[in-house]
Amino acid sequence: MRDQVLPNINSPFPHGPQGYAHLDIKPANLLLTSEGRVLLGDTGCVSRRDAAGLLHSPAGSPLFMAPELKRRGVGFTTAADMYSVGVLLAMCAAWHRQTGRCLNFLRGNLPLPDYVPGPLVDLVARLVCAEPGERLTAEQALAHPFLRGVDVSKLAPVRPDVFSPPR
């Protein structure tokens, strides 16, 4: 999980200059290849930034939606996807199938359990900030102590040529 999700978050839709956001990052949309690589699937909520750099089509699953997506009529940025990654990490680290506990964590009423390593607690906290401008970018998250040392080149998705004839 920690070695694959963030490096591949930009796989189907690079955020940076292209300005796309997936807007529905959650466990059900992570696809595992036979080589053990994680891909991001279900692109039905993908949105592209406007000329001002904002997105205007909030979508996704409520638990994983960044707070700014829930404010009607307010533009938001691709930082919304990083919030979803933070929720995903919290769910995987502590609360698989325990939506209520994760909601309490996101509301500030429950800390991550003591068995979650300190660096992961810090990473999650930096990803689920209420203010989008305070969230880590994918590049900053990869440089975080919890993920430092991950060889991203081994995690990059392989895009098979779907039109090549079978051998």
- Its domain, for residue 58, covers 5-149
**Number of structural domains the chain divides into:** 1
Phi-psi sector, 82: left (phi>0), alpha (psi -120 to 50), beta? alpha
Q: Is residue 157 part of a domain?
A: no
In-domain check, residue 104: yes
Residue 16 lies in a domain: yes
Q: What is the pLDDT of residues 105-160, one digit of tens each?
A: 999 999 999 999 999 999 999 999 999 999 998 889 989 999 887 776 665 555 55
Q: Is 24 a catalytic residue?
A: yes
151 CB-near residues (< 8 Å, 6+ apart)? none
Tell me how far apart the alpha carbons of residues 160 and 163 are, in angstroms, rounded to a whole number. Answer: 9
Dihedral (Cα; 111, 117, 123, 126), 10-degree rounding: 30
CA 122/CA 80 separation, integer angstroms: 18
Question: Catalytic pick from 3, 24, 81, 122?
Answer: 24
CA angle 76, 17, 67 (to 5 degrees): 20
Domain CATH number, residue 136: 1.10.510.10
Q: Are 120 and 128 in contact (CB under 8 A)?
A: no
pTM of the model: 0.80
Q: Is residue 155 part of a domain?
A: no
Tens of pLDDT, residues 68-82: 988 877 788 889 999
